[in-house]
Amino acid sequence: MNIEPFRLRIDVTDDEFNAIYPRKIQRLAEKHFTPVSVAKTASEFLVTKPGTKVLDIGSGAGKFCLVGTVNTSGHFTGIEQRPSLVELSKRLSTSYGLNNVTFINANVTSIDFNEYDAFYIYNSFYENLNNHDSIDDTVLLTPPLYNSYLMYTLGQLSRLSPAVRLVTYYTYHTIVPPSFKLIDSLHDGNLKLWER
């Protein structure tokens, strides 16, 4: 796929975008990847000025970050536990010459949220509650881990300074601290835009 249509603001379908991935990754797209239209809306809300630092918690194969980086002037960082997906995301960003995106192989509990201006969460920890829909079996998945990741994320978000933005997609409200105000709800209420 040519990345230029994104830079020129030309609509690209999910099938067209997902074609950049190997077939086994493409099969995961519907359940695990953010749709292009959602990624565009979310990234435009999150990036309020050039260089806004956006953290994608549980970036998977990097689709949200890749779309966001060509759709805005922000810098996107994806954190993902699966090394193979991080390596794939890095290869794709390099092959398309995308310099304002970083992918980190790490657990959310090792991340200091104060280093970022905005956050994207697409049901990041749900695999721990329902591993029948998991991406693979390379990471430990348990309900106690879901609670641990949820509480860490909630605590980190609670301590952030005002004007921080958050987007959740198909994500339980329990991860959003009461200090965040709902700005808009889109895509049948599944995409929510928040500000602290």
Residue 89 predicted with pLDDT over 80: yes
- Domain span holding position 130: 4-195
pLDDT at residue 134 greater than cutoff 70:
no
Based on its alpha-carbon atoms, the radius of gyration of the chain, rounded to whole angstroms, reads: 16
Q: Is residue 182 within a helix (H) or strand (E), and if so which, with residue range? A: strand 181-186
pLDDT at 124 over 70: yes
Q: Quote the pLDDT of residue 131.
A: 61
Kindly report the CATH number assigned to the domain that includes residue 27: 3.40.50.150
164-191 pLDDT, tens digit per residue, is 999 999 988 889 999 999 999 999 999 9
Residue 5 has pLDDT above 90, yes or no: no
Instruction: Look at the chain and report how many structural domains it folds into.
Output: 1
pLDDT band at 136 (very low <50, low <70, confident <90, very high): low
